[in-house]
Amino acid sequence: MEQNNPFSIKNWAEDDKPREKLMLKGKSALSDAELLAILIGSGNRNESAVDLSKRILSHVDNNLNALGKLSLKQLIEFKGIGEAKAIAIIAATEIGRRRREENVKEAIKINSSQIVFNVMQPLIGELPHEEFWVLYLNNANKIVHKAQLSKGGFTGTVVDIRIVLKFALEYNALSIVLTHNHPSGKLIASESDIQLTQKIKAAVKQLDIALIDHVIITENNYYSFADNGIL
């Protein structure tokens, strides 16, 4: 049983215990593997919780974003990770994602494509499918509303321009930013992306609303139509 496991955290030497290390030295002193070890509590018959954590992290190239994408089924394939431990890992990574999202919930002034990326990456940057969102801005270029206008497959979505206009009027927006993700990770504006952008630009112009950018989001980077002169 787990309580008799010599690799359980409570049986380690005092200097090796991640819980105690956190209490004595603070959370920043712990490695990713040690933090993960606290979540899972114990390893298996052949490795400690830290060693198991290192193996799991090595599987995702020590990328915490990639760890957060592992499914319950994928996690329990690791020897020593049962359903309860897998759920704890999933819950912890989701809390981390939501924390990043919370950091951008206040009214933010959009004055660069980097800020658009900071706002939208926690929402769509790691999704396995494509989503199209619009940021509606007031006269100070602050976000008054974020709207998901479509959700599609791996290669594209369909956007109803009438809904873009409806929200613009509803929230008295004076400008908008278009944004969507590329699950493939490719930072290339397709011909359909460019055509849709021009259609929306022409439509909102009739309402004296400016389209100030269209930003393609991936997990780690972005592509701005405005920055690249194709808006």
Host domain of residue 65: 2-102
Residue 119 covered by a domain? yes
Per-residue pLDDT of 84-109, as tens digits, reads 999 999 999 888 877 766 655 556 78
Distance CA 59, CA 61 (A): 6
What is the mean predicted confidence (pLDDT) over 180-200? Answer: 91
Give residue 5's pLDDT band: very low, low, confident or very high (50, 70, 90).
low
CATH number at residue 186: 3.40.140.10
Helix-, strand-, coil-residue percentages of the chain, each rounded to 5: 45, 15, 35
Q: In angstroms, how far apart are the furthest CA atoms of the chain?
A: 72
- The proportion of the chain whose per-residue pLDDT surpasses 90, expressed as a percent, equals 52
What is the mean predicted confidence (pLDDT) over 18-25? Answer: 85
Q: Which residues of 178-206 are buried (b: 16+ CB within 10 A; e: fewer)?
A: bbbbbbeeeeebeeebeebbeebbebbee
Are residues 66 and 156 both part of a single domain? no
Residue 177 covered by a domain? yes
Residue 189 covered by a domain? yes
Are residues 20 and 68 both part of a single domain? yes
Per-residue pLDDT of 121-130, as tens digits, reads 988 998 888 9
Are residues 91 and 15 both part of a single domain? yes
Are residues 24 and 81 both part of a single domain? yes
Distance CA 211, CA 182 (A): 21
Radius of gyration for the chain, computed over Cα atoms and rounded to the nearest angstrom: 22
- Contact at 8 Å (CB) between 8 and 41? yes
Distance CA 140, CA 105 (A): 17
* Cα dihedral 106, 111, 115, 116 sign: positive
Are residues 56 and 136 both part of a single domain? no
**What per-residue confidence (pLDDT) applies to 179?**
96
Listed residues 102, 130, 154: the one ending a domain = 102
Distance CA 153, CA 202 (A): 26
Are residues 82 and 148 both part of a single domain? no
Are residues 34 and 58 both part of a single domain? yes
Phi, psi values for residue 109, rounded to 5° = -85, 125
Mean pLDDT score across all residues of the chain: 86
Listed residues 102, 136, 167: the one ending a domain = 102
DSSP 143: E
Listed residues 102, 133, 162: the one ending a domain = 102
Are residues 136 and 81 both part of a single domain? no
Residue 203 covered by a domain? yes
**What per-residue confidence (pLDDT) applies to 47?**
87
Residue 231 covered by a domain? no
Residue 12 covered by a domain? yes
Are residues 158 and 203 both part of a single domain? yes
Does position 213 have pLDDT exceeding 70, yes or no?
Answer: yes
Cα→Cα distances 218→32, 101, 105, 155, 224, Å:
23, 16, 20, 13, 12
Residue 108 covered by a domain? no
What is the mean predicted confidence (pLDDT) over 50-54? Answer: 91
Residue 229 covered by a domain? no
Are residues 124 and 82 both part of a single domain? no
Are residues 216 and 125 both part of a single domain? yes
Domain tally for the chain? 2
Give residue 1's pLDDT band: very low, low, confident or very high (50, 70, 90).
very low
Distance in angstroms between the alpha carbons of the first and the last residue of the chain? 63
Are residues 96 and 117 both part of a single domain? no
Per-residue pLDDT of 143-183, as tens digits, reads 988 999 988 754 556 788 999 999 999 999 999 999 999 99
